Amino acid sequence: MIRWDLENEYGRRVGSGLYLELIESPGIGQKVLKFSIIMPQKRVHFE
């Protein structure tokens, strides 16, 4: 199991969307996973 803090390699939060992940294991093969992330919307208050 791998935990992901939902940040990219630059330390920025990822956006909502459909993501693909390629997992490779020597001697076993490859697996492509599809997953979606739905981030909560931020409310902007105008004055």
Q: pLDDT tens across 1-47, in order? A: 778 899 999 999 999 999 999 999 999 999 999 999 998 887 778 87
Instruction: Indicate whether this model's pTM tops 0.75.
Output: no
Q: How would DSSP label each residue in 2-47?
A: ----SB-TTSPBPPSEEEEEEEEETTTEEEEEEEEE-PPPPP----
Residue owning tokens 């020597």: 26
pLDDT at 46: 81
CA distance 31 to 11: 26
Which tokens belong to 24?
Answer: 């490779």
